[in-house]
């Protein structure tokens, strides 16, 4: 996969290094592409340019890339880049960093954004995921289709603890994508059985999240509803 990343700050460089380790080709665009910065990600291709200029994006070969990542520290730049990537170069996938949570509402398909990543929201989700058992935690949203990745640690006493996945009917538009057990990821199959304290990762939609949570942790859901009523 060929990925173009705009913004070679700590976020952009970290993404680039991870992608390169996974065998992908990465081009970094930044106004500051001096020797010191380039040396921090030697295996990437670098382009010193303004990521909002069409001529620079043409030179970067956006028409031939699979993903564009707008990772600058400026939300205006990230939005403009995402829009240009979609409308001018027909890039299949755009991922945009949201720096200011107040701007998050703009990061949607109207601006060419497929996936918006808000660092404050993501950090909040990770904190909740680390301390919550029986709560459905939204990790991030996919802008197109309004799908989201959610997580739940299956509580003790859940009716699904011990259930064979082939016998479980999850709500519509819900896919169990991974089970994390004892710190190790498991690709779920029909013959796998769920265990209490499994971390379950789902792709689902907002309109069935409550139904999914009630199914996995009915007692916890009922207690929370009572607390909200009080």
* Per-residue pLDDT tens over the stretch 56-110: 999 999 999 999 999 999 999 999 999 999 999 999 999 898 888 889 899 988 9
Tell me, what's the pLDDT at 227? 43
SS3 state at 197: coil
HSE-CB of 200 using CA atoms within 13 angstroms: 31
Look at the block and give the residue holding tokens 């004892």: 182
Domain boundaries, the chain: 2-117, 132-229
Return the closest-CA partner of residue 3 out of 49, 55, 43.
43
Task: With CA atoms as reference, report the closest residue to 65 among 49, 81, 41.
Answer: 81
CA atoms within 13 A on the CB side of 65: 27
CATH of the domain spanning 2-117, picked from 1.20.1340.10, 3.40.50.720, 3.40.50.880, 3.90.1150.10:
3.40.50.720
How, if at all, do strands 93-98 and 67-70 pair? Answer: parallel
Q: In the predicted model, is pLDDT for residue 126 greater than 80?
A: no
pLDDT per residue over 171-223, tens digit each?
999 999 999 998 888 999 999 999 999 989 999 988 898 899 999 988 754 44
Around 84, how many Cα atoms within 13 Å sit in the side-chain half-sphere?
A: 21
CATH 1.10.1060.10, domain 132-229, yes or no: no
Cβ pair 11, 97 in contact under 8 A: yes
Mean pLDDT taken over the chain? 85
pLDDT above 90 coverage of the chain, percent? 50
pTM of the model: 0.61
């Amino acid at each position: 996969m060929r990925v173009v990343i705009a913004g070679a700050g700590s976020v952009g460089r970290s993404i680039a290094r991870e992608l390169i380790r996974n065998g992908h080709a990465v081009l970094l665009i930044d106004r500051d592409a001096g020797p010191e910065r380039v040396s921090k990600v030697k295996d990437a291709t670098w382009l010193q340019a303004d990521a909002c200029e069409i001529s620079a994006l043409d030179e970067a070969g956006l028409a031939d890339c699979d993903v564009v990542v707008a990772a600058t520290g400026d939300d205006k730049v990230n939005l403009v880049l995402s829009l240009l990537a979609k409308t001018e170069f027909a890039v299949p996938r755009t991922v945009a960093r949201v720096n200011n949570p107040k701007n998050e509402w703009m990061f949607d398909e109207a601006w060419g954004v497929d996936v918006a990543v808000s660092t404050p929201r993501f950090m909040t989700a990770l904190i909740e995921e680390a301390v919550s058992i029986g709560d459905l935690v939204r990790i991030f949203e996919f802008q197109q289709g309004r799908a989201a990745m959610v997580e739940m640690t299956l509580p003790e006493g859940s009716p699904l603890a011990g259930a064979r996945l082939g016998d479980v009917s999850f709500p519509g538009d819900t896919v169990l994508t991974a089970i994390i057990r004892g710190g190790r990821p498991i690709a779920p199959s029909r013959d796998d059985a769920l265990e209490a304290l499994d971390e379950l990762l789902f792709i689902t939609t907002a309109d069935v999240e409550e139904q999914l949570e009630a199914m996995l942790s009915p007692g916890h859901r009922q207690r929370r509803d009572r607390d909200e009523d009080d």
